[in-house]
A and B are shown apart, each in its own frame.
Chain A
Amino acid sequence: MSDHARLELTDAAAAASAPTTGPVVDPYAGPVTHSPVRFLYDLNPLAKIFAPLPAMVMLVFVRDVQTPLAFIALTAVVLLIGVRFTRGLVALLIGVPAFGAVIALGFALWTDAGLVDDTAPVVQLGGWTLYGGALEIGLATGLRIAAIVVLAFIAGLSTTGPDLVRATVQQLRVPYRIGYTALAAFRFVPRFRHELEIIRQAHRVRGAHGGRGPFTAVARWAGYIVPLLAGAIRHAERVALAMDARAFGAHPDRTERHLVPFRTRDTVFLVAFWIMSALVFWLFFPWGLS
Chain B
Amino acid sequence: MTALQRDAPAARAGGPDKGQPLLRVRDLSVAYEGSVAPTPAGVSFDVSAGEVVLVLGPSGSGKSTLALALNGLIPHDVPAEVTGTVQVGGLDTVGNPVSRLSTHVAMVFQDPDAQLVTGTLLDEVAFGPENLRLPVEEVLARAESALRRVGLWNLRHTNPDRLSGGGRQRLAIACALAMGSPLLVLDEPTANLDPNGIEDFYAALGELAAAGDRAIVLIEHNLDAAVGFVDRVLVLDHDGRLVADGSVDDVLRRGADELHAMGVWLPTSALAALRLRRAGLHLEPLPLTPDELREALDADPATPPDAERAEFSPAVAAHARPPHAVAERAQRDEAPTRRPLVQVRRLTLRRGRATVLHDVDLDIREGDFVAVIGANGAGKTTLVQAIAGVVRPPRGTIRIGDLDVGRADSRTLSARVGFVFQNPEHQFIAHTVFDELAHGLRLRHVPEDDVRARTEALLDRFGLRDKAATHPFRLSGGQKRRLSVGTALAGAALDGGAPLLVLDEPTFGQDRARADEILSLLRDLNAEGTTIVVVTHDMQLVTEYADRTVILRDGRVAAAGDTADLFADAELIRGAGLRRPPLSRAFDGLTSHPGLAGIARLADLPDGTA
Stretch at the interface among A11-19, A43-51, A117-125, A265-273: A11-19
User: Given A7-B204, A205-B410, A207-B491, is A30 in contact with B163 using a C-beta cutoff of 8 Å?
Assistant: no
A255→B200 CA distance, assembly (Å): 32
Decide yes or no whether B148 CB sits under 8 A from chain A.
yes
CB neighbours of B166 from chain A (8 A): 14
Interface centre among A195, A202, A246, A248 (most CB of B within 10 A): A246
Q: Is the CB of B134 within 8 A of A250?
A: no
Q: Is the interface of B mostly helix, strand, loop or mixed?
A: helix
CB contacts under 8 Å to A, within B117-148, are 117-120, 123, 126-136, 139-140, 148
Decide yes or no whether A208 CB sits under 8 A from chain B.
yes
A210→B414 CA distance, assembly (Å): 12
Q: Is the CB of A205 within 8 A of B389?
A: yes
A17→B377 CA distance, assembly (Å): 8
Decide yes or no whether A240 CB sits under 8 A from chain B.
yes
CB neighbours of A244 from chain B (8 A): 73, 76-77, 98-99, 102
Q: Is the CB of A208 within 8 A of B159?
A: no
Q: Is the CB of B175 within 8 A of A246?
A: yes
User: Given A202-B421, A203-B429, A247-B128, is A15 in contact with B162 using a C-beta cutoff of 8 Å?
Assistant: yes
Interface centre among A203, A205, A239, A242 (most CB of B within 10 A): A205
Q: Please, what's the 1-or-0 string for A227-253, where 1 marks a CB less than 8 Å from any CB in chain B?
A: 100110001001111111111111101
User: Given A205-B390, A244-B77, A255-B134, is A10 in contact with B200 using a C-beta cutoff of 8 Å?
Assistant: yes
User: Given A241-B77, A242-B109, A246-B179, is A227 in contact with B426 using a C-beta cutoff of 8 Å?
Assistant: yes
Q: Is the CB of A28 within 8 A of B119?
A: yes
Q: Is the CB of B428 within 8 A of A11?
A: no
Q: Is the CB of A245 within 8 A of B73?
A: yes
A16→B487 CA distance, assembly (Å): 38
Q: Please, what's the 1-or-0 string for B81-110, where 1 marks a CB less than 8 Å from any CB in chain A?
A: 000000000000000011110110011010
Instruction: Tell me how many residues of B have a C-beta within 8 Å of chain A.
Output: 87
Q: Is the CB of A13 within 8 A of B164?
A: yes
CB neighbours of A180 from chain B (8 A): 117
A206→B440 CA distance, assembly (Å): 7
Decide yes or no whether B331 CB sits under 8 A from chain A.
no
List the B residue with the shortest CB-CB distance to A180: B117
CB neighbours of B98 from chain A (8 A): 244-245, 247
Q: Is the CB of B130 within 8 A of A254?
A: yes
CB neighbours of B179 from chain A (8 A): 246-247
Decide yes or no whether A4 CB sits under 8 A from chain B.
yes
Decide yes or no whether B247 CB sits under 8 A from chain A.
no
Decide yes or no whether B63 CB sits under 8 A from chain A.
no
Q: Is the CB of B410 within 8 A of A204?
A: yes
A226→B97 CA distance, assembly (Å): 34
CB neighbours of A132 from chain B (8 A): none
Decide yes or no whether B411 CB sits under 8 A from chain A.
yes
User: Given A28-B119, A205-B414, A257-B140, is A13 in contact with B200 using a C-beta cutoff of 8 Å?
Assistant: yes
User: Given A207-B411, A247-B131, A250-B131, is A202 in contact with B118 using a C-beta cutoff of 8 Å?
Assistant: no
Decide yes or no whether B44 CB sits under 8 A from chain A.
no
- From B106, B132, B429, give the contact of A206 (CB < 8 A): B429
CB contacts under 8 Å to A, within B151-167, are 151-155, 157-159, 161-164, 166-167
Q: Is the CB of A239 within 8 A of B419?
A: no
CB contacts under 8 Å to A, within B345-392, are 376-377, 385, 388-391
Decide yes or no whether A286 CB sits under 8 A from chain B.
no
Q: Is the CB of B207 within 8 A of A250?
A: no
Q: Is the CB of B443 within 8 A of A246?
A: no
CB neighbours of B423 from chain A (8 A): 198, 231
Q: Is the CB of B427 within 8 A of A14?
A: no
Q: Is the CB of A206 within 8 A of B414?
A: yes
Q: Is the CB of B131 within 8 A of A251?
A: yes
User: Given A28-B120, A238-B109, is A22 in contact with B127 using a C-beta cutoff of 8 Å?
Assistant: no
A4→B410 CA distance, assembly (Å): 53
List the B residue with the shortest CB-CB distance to A238: B114
User: Given A27-B119, A246-B102, is A208 in contact with B152 using a C-beta cutoff of 8 Å?
Assistant: no
- From B99, B102, B388, give the contact of A205 (CB < 8 A): B388
CB neighbours of A223 from chain B (8 A): 429
Q: Is the CB of B133 within 8 A of A254?
A: yes
A sample of 13 inter-chain contacts (CB < 8 A) reads A7-B203, A22-B159, A30-B119, A183-B117, A202-B421, A203-B429, A205-B419, A207-B443, A208-B439, A226-B473, A241-B109, A246-B175, A248-B117
3 closest cross-chain pairs (CB), A and B: A28-B119, A7-B151, A250-B99
